[in-house]
Chains A and B, each alone.
Chain A
Amino acid sequence: MNALLRSSLRLIDRLSPPEPVSAHCDIPCGIYDPHLAQIAAQTVVRMHQLIGDLERPGPDASKAEFDKYANSLSRYIAVKEEHAELCKQEVRIIWADYFKPEHLSDHPELHTNVWNILKLGSKVRQNVDMQAAEELLAAVQTFAEAFWASKGASTTRGPSRQAVGGESVYPA
C-alpha cells in the first residue's frame, strides 16, 4: 500500500471519521459453554433435596423455630427460582447464538430438547417437583453432549463431585 495514500486517508479519517462496519457475531466473543447451564440445573436439583430434607416444625414449635424453618424454605425457593431461570437463559443463548442450521443434521433432536428444557425450567419454578428437576438436569446434560459433539469434542459422563451427587457431562 502506498504510504502517501495511506497517510492521506488517515488524515481524512480524522476530519471525517469512518463509519463502523461490524465484522462480528452478535456478541463478538465466540465463547460458549454449557457448563453454566449444567451448574444451574444441578443447583435446582440440590434445592429440591434441601427442601425435601427440611424438617417441618411441629404444632407446638416456638416462633423462633418456625421463623428458622420459613427462612430456610424461602431461601431454597429463591435460589431454585433464580437458577431455573439462569439455566433457561444459558441454554437459550447457546441455542440461539451458537447453534446454526447446519448443526441440525447431526442433532435433529436439538429443538425438541431445548423446548423441553425451557418448559421444565418453568415447571420447577411453579412447583416443588423433584422429578421435573431431575428431568431438567438430564435434558441439560444431553444438551451439553450435543454442544461438545458439534465442536468435534467427545464427552464423558462422570461423577459430579458436587453435594447434589449424580453424574455430569464433561468434554474429554
Chain B
Amino acid sequence: MLRRIRALLPFDRFEVEGESMTPTLSAGERVFVNKAAYWFSRPQCGDIVVVRDPRDTDRLLLKRIDRPADGGWLVLGDNPDASTDSRTFGPVTRKLIVGKVWFGY
C-alpha cells in the first residue's frame, strides 16, 4: 500500500550504496529525489539523477548527467574508478531516468 502511494508521489527518497558518487554523495547518505523534474524540461548536464540500469531495469543507479547522446543521455559516476556507467552500458533513455536529486540528507 505504502509502496503504491510512493510510486504516485512526484518525489521519493533513496539510500545511497557504494562509492561511485564520492565525494559528492557517500554510501549511507539519503537523497531526496524530484521525480517531476523532467516532466516539463530536459535533463541538464551536471544534474545528479536516479536512473534505471538499462541492463536490469529493476536496479536503480545514482549517476550524473554527462551529456546528451544518440538515444538519450550519457551518465557517469563522479568517481570513475569505482563506477559502472555509460562507459559500460551506453546512453540511458528519458524513460529510464527516474528523477533528479534535489538534496542529500
Which A residues from 1 to 60 make CB contacts under 8 A with B?
A: 1, 5-6, 9-10, 12-13, 16-26, 28-30
Contact status B105-A28, CB under 8 Å? no
Contact status B13-A18, CB under 8 Å? yes
A20 to B88, CA, bound (A): 21
Contacts of B20 in A (CB 8 A): 22-25, 28
B63 at the interface (CB under 8 A from A): yes
CB distance from B16 to the nearest CB of A (A): 5
Who on chain A is nearest to B84 by CB?
Answer: A25
* Residue in B2, B22, B87 whose CB lies within 8 Å of A16: B2
Contacts of A17 in B (CB 8 A): 15
Contacts of A6 in B (CB 8 A): 105
Knowing A1-B105, A9-B32, the reply to whether A20 touches B60 (Cβ < 8 A) is yes
CB distance from B63 to the nearest CB of A (A): 7
Contacts of A18 in B (CB 8 A): 12-15, 30
* Residue in B14, B53, B84 whose CB lies within 8 Å of A19: B14
B61 at the interface (CB under 8 A from A): yes
A151 to B85, CA, bound (A): 19
Which B residues from 61 to 93 make CB contacts under 8 A with A?
A: 61-63, 77, 81-84, 87-88
* Chain B positions 32 through 53: 1 when the CB is less than 8 Å from some CB of chain A, otherwise 0: 1000000000000000001001
A126 to B14, CA, bound (A): 50
* Residue in B12, B50, B82, B103 whose CB lies within 8 Å of A28: B82
Contact status A23-B105, CB under 8 Å? no
Knowing A22-B17, A22-B59, A24-B17, the reply to whether A102 touches B87 (Cβ < 8 A) is yes
A45 to B30, CA, bound (A): 51
Contact status A21-B31, CB under 8 Å? yes
A100 at the interface (CB under 8 A from B): yes
Which B residues from 5 to 29 make CB contacts under 8 A with A?
A: 6, 12-22, 25, 27
Having A6-B105, A16-B6, A23-B22, one finds 14 other A-B pairs with CB under 8 Å, namely A18-B14, A19-B60, A21-B16, A21-B17, A21-B50, A22-B20, A23-B20, A23-B21, A23-B63, A23-B77, A24-B19, A24-B20, A25-B20, A28-B20
A residues near B (Cβ < 8 Å) are 1, 5-6, 9-10, 12-13, 16-26, 28-30, 97, 100-102
Interface pairs (19), CB distance under 8 Å: A1-B103, A12-B13, A18-B14, A18-B30, A19-B13, A20-B17, A20-B60, A21-B16, A21-B17, A22-B53, A23-B62, A23-B63, A24-B20, A24-B83, A25-B82, A30-B82, A97-B84, A100-B88, A102-B87
